[in-house]
Amino acid sequence: MAHFMFLPRRRQFITAILSAAVLSACGGGGSSAPAPTIKSVTAGDTQIVIDWVQEPGVEYWLWFKAADTVSAGEKTASYRLAITAPYILTGLTNDTKYAITINGRTNGGPGGPGSVVQTATPRAAGSVWLAGGALGSSNAIRSVAYGLSSSSATTYSYVAVGDDGVIYSSPAYVSATALSWTQVRAASGTALNAALYALAKYVAVGDGGSVLTSTDTTTWAAATSGTTAKLNALATNSSIVVAVGANGTILHSSDGTTWTAATLVPTTNDLYGVTYSALGLWVAVGANGTLLTSSDGATWTAGNSGTTATLKAAASMSTVTTSGSTTYSIVAVGAGGVILSSTTGTAWSVQTQGSADLNAAASSSRFVALGDNGAVYSSTDGTTWTAASSPNSNTMYGVIHADNIFTAVGAAGTSIYSY
């Protein structure tokens, strides 16, 4: 008998829940909010940043679709719930126009009217560059990295390193504004030439074989590299980190702290750049056109670069085609505007863009190369390059693509960015 008495009570309970849900959907005790005022809509790389006048106590909804117009609550539109300003709408398709509107409600009420419709078309970063936050230093800043703010955080930060061992950090971009840099390590006299985030920590290397690591961007510990050679560049494949430097020095590490010298390096030329390609290939480049490849970071083979120009940096990219296959591209850049490109890592083509030395390279859905006197170039395939305008004429030494944004650093504490 108790069993049969329980069923109606359970049905009553479920009915009460459903009634509450329906009441909430119909507005509950809340109300709709006036249409918000949009302050800005800024297109970026596969994303759009929307900022509006946010009123206290209002919950905002974003409605969007690939079209010229959209309305709040439209069934064919996509949406984001409970957003706050500024909001970064990600996962969009570059070169596609999107229409956007925002509406609001209070206390679970019905959605109000949508804001005036705005449109924006995302485009790949690398073609338009803006002045970034100054690093407050007369030192040349050599490299920039991006990773978690600490081992327990879910927020991200940028770290930049440079001459005299200075280190700066900045919170990740908020909206489409410049980074805000803070010096976290004073000059030590020993230059830091490269930094990256890998293996759950920041790693920086520099003159005299110096290696520093940090898990929080502010506290840095020295590690023993086993060499006194100048270390110039770093790369990772997410399992190990490889460092390259003077006199053909190559080191590798599985934790960023303990380092092992490569077992075979067929050159004593200075090495200035290194990258890892999803082909499963490491590529290191350096003086007099030196080009080395490796499948494991320990044993290296000399390649034919086709140039005697000093190569300063390397970058790699993989692209999934419309047919589902993957294409691979690797580039190296250097003195006199020389640019090398390869789809295999073994056969290389050589070209020259301008006459300025190119010191840095990075990739996303396209490559960028930066160098002396504000030189900036971009390419979607590594072979056809287009010059872009820089907001200054300073020499740039390091660049990274992170958070859908290219960030570059250089002489006199300069930084620029492209989104």
85 lies in the same domain as 185: no
- The answer to whether position 4 is within a domain reads no
Provide φ and ψ at 335, rounded to 5°: -60, 145
Q: Which residue has 């991200």 as its token pair?
A: 156
CB neighbourhood size of 43 (10 A):
19
Residue 390 in contact with residue 368, Cβ under 8 Å? no
| Structure-token pair, residue 194 | 């490269």
116 lies in the same domain as 208: no
Residue 320 has a pLDDT of 83
- Cα 235 to Cα 59: distance, rounded to the nearest angstrom: 43
79 lies in the same domain as 205: no
Domain of 366, in residue numbers: 130-418
Number of domains in the chain: 2
134 lies in the same domain as 115: no
388 lies in the same domain as 333: yes
In 258-305, which ranges are E strands?
260-261, 271-277, 281-286, 291-294, 301-302
Element at 174 (helix H, strand E):
none
- The answer to whether position 24 is within a domain reads no
- The answer to whether position 178 is within a domain reads yes
- Cα 143 to Cα 160: distance, rounded to the nearest angstrom: 6
116 lies in the same domain as 139: no
- The answer to whether position 85 is within a domain reads yes
Residue 20 has a pLDDT of 35
103 lies in the same domain as 243: no
Q: Give 32's strand partners.
A: 105
339 lies in the same domain as 280: yes
- Cα 372 to Cα 370: distance, rounded to the nearest angstrom: 7
351 lies in the same domain as 296: yes
Q: Which of 57, 86, 120 is the last residue of a domain?
A: 120
Residue 235 in contact with residue 241, Cβ under 8 Å? yes
The enclosing domain of 386 has a CATH number of 2.130.10.10
- The answer to whether position 6 is within a domain reads no
**In whole angstroms, how far apart are CA 133 and each of 42, 186, 390, 410?**
19, 19, 14, 12
Element at 134 (helix H, strand E):
none
- The answer to whether position 26 is within a domain reads no
Residue 176 has a pLDDT of 62
- Cα 235 to Cα 233: distance, rounded to the nearest angstrom: 7
106 lies in the same domain as 137: no
- The answer to whether position 25 is within a domain reads no
What is the pLDDT tens value at each position of the chain, 419 positions in all? 333 332 333 333 333 333 333 333 344 579 999 999 999 998 988 999 999 999 999 999 999 999 999 999 999 999 999 999 999 999 999 999 999 999 999 999 999 999 999 999 998 899 889 999 999 878 899 999 999 999 888 899 999 999 999 999 999 987 667 899 999 999 999 999 999 999 999 999 999 999 999 999 999 999 999 999 999 999 999 999 999 999 999 999 999 999 999 999 999 999 999 999 999 999 999 999 999 999 999 999 999 999 999 999 999 999 887 788 899 999 999 999 999 999 999 999 999 999 999 999 999 989 999 999 999 999 999 999 999 999 999 999 999 999 889 999 999 999 999 98
204 lies in the same domain as 318: yes
The enclosing domain of 91 has a CATH number of 2.60.40.10
- The answer to whether position 77 is within a domain reads yes
364 lies in the same domain as 391: yes
CB neighbourhood size of 352 (10 A):
13
Q: Which of 54, 88, 120 is the last residue of a domain?
A: 120
Q: Which of 120, 153, 184 is the last residue of a domain?
A: 120
